[in-house]
Amino acid sequence: MTTFPEDSILVLLETTPSGTPARSAAGLLGAAAEVGTPVALIVAGPDGAADTAAAAGDLGAAYVLTAQPESVSSLLAVPTVDALAAAAGLVRPDAILISNSVDGRDAAGRFAARTRFALAVDAVGVGRDPEGIVAHHSVYGGAYSVDCAPTFGAPVITLREGAVDSRAEARTPQIESLDVPSSGIAAASIESFEARTVTSTRPELRGAVKVVAGGRGLTSQEQFALVDQLADVLGAAVGASRAAVDAGWVPNNYQIGQTGISVSPQLYVAIGVSGAIQHRAGMQTAKTIVAINKDPDAPIFEIADFGVVGDLFQVVPQLINSLSARKE
Amino acid sequence: MKIVVLMKEVPDTYGERKLNLETGLAERSDSEAVLDEIGERALELALSLAGSLDSPEITVVSMTPESATTTLRKALAMGADKLVHIADEKLVGADLGLTAEVLAAAIRRTGFDLVIAGNLSTDGQGGVIPAMLAELLGVPHASSLTSVEVSAERVHGTRETDGGIMEVAAALPAVISITERFPAGRFPNFKGIMAAKKKPVEKLTAADLEVDPEALDVPRSIMLAVSERPARSAGMKIVDEGDAGEKLAEFLIQNRLA
Ligand SMILES: Cc1cc2nc3c(=O)[nH]c(=O)nc-3n(C[C@H](O)[C@H](O)[C@H](O)COP(=O)(O)OP(=O)(O)OC[C@H]3O[C@@H](n4cnc5c(N)ncnc54)[C@H](O)[C@@H]3O)c2cc1C
Ligand SMILES: Nc1ncnc2c1ncn2[C@@H]1O[C@H](COP(=O)(O)O)[C@@H](O)[C@H]1O
């Protein structure tokens, strides 16, 4: 039976439907390696767990626990939480790191409520002080930095995807399969699942280095294509304001802001976005902000490094042409 | 059917929101307090479901400071039947664990078939309270729903995550959380406002719920440090004279951003 290091950090790895570690895995293991020894927990269906475990090692997991509760693909959250509880009991980690995704938050919330461990959500980094693990947060759109820690015990921390840049060194992990007793707690059942198909070759919005975002100023789904075109010339990810999402021009997971995704790219281009405070909350930590808006008083200009007051239907096509011409 | 809607009072996100640099708590005086928009959407859903359910009773449960009473009355004016307001000095600055414990106790006391919460509140980071409540109440949790159907025994809905879209279902009693794709809350009309005056409001403390906010045997998350980042300032702003696209291209190239 494996004994786990004193400074173990238990990481719940999300997997894609095809069984590979999800995008959030590298950042979670990177953060864990900064403060201790990463122990990855993979909760997945029966196929492919061995490949996933090796892939987790490539991302820095020193140990991998694989759990295969029968009901994992038919019940929401509870089987994962049962596995987390079993893993935490075995590993006795200094902290438990989970992605701040919808699934991650469901698991973290239930797990913390069950075990009474202190919970910190949407951290942008972790640290260690003599007392233990500390979670770093960026709140109110990056206006404040806040550090949190538990009064005692290991904290459960959900980590904002794309916020941690550091990556752990690849290892050959020690792999062990984990026995998971079912808690029998009532769960919602999954009747069907349709994986999001990745139709574009564009970078992922979370953690993107460049982002082009479009707002209500684009006026229609057809015209929103301008945003896509500029993004492709720049090699950028595409995002949107809530108004553009509400209008149905782009999917829900394009939304940037308070109740959408928070991004911190090198370049943020806002097109036809007014810059409402709730939108700014998700992008104002970008390194360079560029805004194109016909209203000289649009609040987005208050934080833009380069603002263009003009009609986006004139400015953006010219920008695209100019950039493409220079590329050739 | 007993429906509990969870609502929160938050600093208005349209104003500038401030944290106290010593306590790390929201400065309530600095920004106007409003009902959290997502909570209003949750109540709107409850009101729209009520018509098709057997003897529906909608109770709004909120843990928020004493001063929120007036804000919370709006929920009664919108059409909720009853308000349970947990206000207690000892709960100011409560962490997620304590908040969930208190809300779970209040929901149990009220009785419930369906709890409707927002997926994410707008005052700081969150999005875990509904899951914590489901665990403490020992019931299913269908989270981040973009559509909901309720019958006498079951709730069914569409759940959206980064990974994809799923159809989920749960037997009642259950907790659900909804996203902002649900319609905005209605404006209370005069009739609603008048009716609200006669509706029951129950005020509770932690002690009434047999929760000890100062218990030392449960780990709590505490704030160690808070700091403010310097505000961002505006840079260059040009007015398009027919060549702004070119100029912008130049700016991007010069800064190695294109
Ligand atoms: C609780 C809460 C949470 C919220 N969360 C979010 C969030 O996460 N993300 C978010 O984005 N919003 C959020 N909002 C909504 C936010 O308040 C704004 O309503 C929204 O951001 C506006 O989107 P917009 O800038 O696209 O639209 P508008 O504010 O309508 O702005 C459109 C802009 O386009 C410009 N424009 C129009 N035509 C042209 C043209 N031809 N050329 C150039 N410019 C043009 C206009 O001048 C205008 O400035 C939230 C609101 C609340 C209350
Ligand atoms: N103090 C509270 N009082 C009532 N409801 C709450 C409270 N905190 C959270 N909730 C509910 O839980 C949802 C998600 O909140 P949070 O987990 O804080 O993001 C909110 O939209 C509310 O429905």
Domains present along chain B, CATH in parentheses = 2-217 (3.40.50.620)
State the Cα–Cα distance between residues A67 and A99, nearest whole angstrom. Answer: 18
Cα–Cα dist A175/A143, whole Å: 42
Q: For residue B144, what is the nearest residue in chain A, using CA coordinates? A: A102
Q: Which ligand 2 atom is the nearest neighbour of the CA of B129?
A: 17
The residue nearest atom 23 of ligand 1, judged by CA position, is A243
Question: What's the whole-number average pLDDT of chain B?
Answer: 93
Between CA B86 and CA B92 the distance in angstroms is 11
d(CA B39, CA B44): 9
> What letter would DSSP give residue B24?
-
Q: Residues of B with CB below 8 A from A323's CB? A: 249, 252-253, 258
What's the pLDDT score for residue B26? 78
Any bridge partners for residue B26, and if so which?
A: B19
Q: Averaged over B176-185, what is the pLDDT?
A: 96
Question: For residue range A237-280, what is the model confidence (pLDDT) as tens digits?
Answer: 999 999 999 999 999 999 999 999 999 999 999 999 999 999 99
Nearest ligand to the CA of B104 is 2
Contact A99, A14 (CB under 8 A): yes
Contact A133, A35 (CB under 8 A): yes
Q: Which domains does chain A have, with CATH numbers?
A: 8-178 (3.40.50.620), 210-327 (3.40.50.1220)
Give the best residue of A96, A250, A302, A308 to mutate against chain B (max B CB count within 10 A): A308
Long-range contacts of A221-230 (CB under 8 A, 24+ apart): A221/A247, A221/A248, A221/A249, A223/A313, A224/A249, A224/A250, A226/A271, A226/A312, A226/A313, A226/A316, A226/A317, A226/A320, A227/A271, A229/A320, A230/A269, A230/A271, A230/A316, A230/A319, A230/A320
CA A100/CA B24 separation, integer angstroms: 22
Q: Which residue in chain A has the smallest CA separation from B241?
A: A310
Q: pLDDT tens across B83-102, in order?
A: 999 999 999 989 999 999 99
Rg (CA), chain A: 22
pLDDT tens string B220-242: 999 999 999 888 889 999 999 99
Chain B contact for A306 (CB, 8 A cutoff)? yes
Which residue type is seen at A126?
V
The atom of ligand 1 lying closest to the CA of A273 is: 25
Which chain B residues touch A113 with a CB distance below 8 Å? 97, 100, 131-133, 135-136
Question: How would you classify residue A217: left for phi > 0, otherwise alpha for psi between -120 and 50, otherwise beta?
Answer: alpha
CA gap A166, A154 in Å, rounded: 22
Q: Does ligand 1 come within 6 angstroms of the Cβ of A295?
A: yes
pLDDT of B106-160, one tens digit each?
999 999 999 999 999 887 668 999 999 999 999 999 999 999 999 999 999 999 9
pLDDT at A199 over 70: no
B-proximal residues of A, 66-105, CB under 8 Å: 76-77, 81, 100-103, 105
Chain A residues with CB inside 8 Å of B222's CB? 148-151
Ligand 2 pocket at CB < 6 A: B 6-8, 36, 38-39, 42, 61-64, 99, 103, 117-118, 120-121, 126-130
Q: Which residues of B192-215 are buried (b: 16+ CB within 10 A; e: fewer)?
A: beeebeebeeeebebeebebebee
Q: How many CA atoms lie within 13 A of A221 on its CB side?
A: 7
Distance, in Å, from the CA atom of A232 to the CA atom of A269, rounded to the nearest integer, reads 13
Helices (H), chain A: 24-35, 49-58, 78-91, 102-115, 221-234, 242-246, 277-280, 312-327
CB contact under 8 A, A105 and B131: yes
What pLDDT shows up at residue B126?
87
Task: Please give the distance, rounded to the nearest whole angstrom, from the Cα atom of residue A280 to the centre of ligand 1.
Answer: 10
What tens digit of pLDDT does each residue of B16-44 get? 778 888 777 777 665 678 899 999 999 99
pLDDT score for A327:
76
Which residues are paired to B57 by β-bridges?
B2
Question: Chain B within 8 Å of A208 (Cβ-Cβ)?
Answer: no
Q: What is the largest CA-CA distance in chain B?
A: 69
> Which ligand 2 atom is at minimum distance from the Cα of A109?
17
**How do residues A285-305 score in pLDDT, each as one tens digit?**
999 999 999 999 999 999 999
Top mutation candidate among A218, A258, A277, A292 for ligand 1, by most atoms within 8 Å of CB: A258
Decide if A243 touches B, using CB distance below 8 A. no
**ipTM metric:** 0.95
Q: What is the dihedral of CA A281, A284, A290, A295, to 10 degrees?
A: 40
CA dist., res. A165 & res. B154, Å (int): 43
Cross-strand pairs, B204: B86
Shortest-distance Cα residue to atom 23 of ligand 2 = B117
Residues with Cβ within 8 Å of residue A199, at least 6 apart in sequence? none
Q: What is the pLDDT of residue B168?
A: 98
Positive or negative torsion for Cα B100, B221, A136, B163 = negative
A260 Cβ below 6 A of ligand 1: yes
Please give the span between the terminal C-alpha atoms of chain A, in angstroms, as a whole number.
61
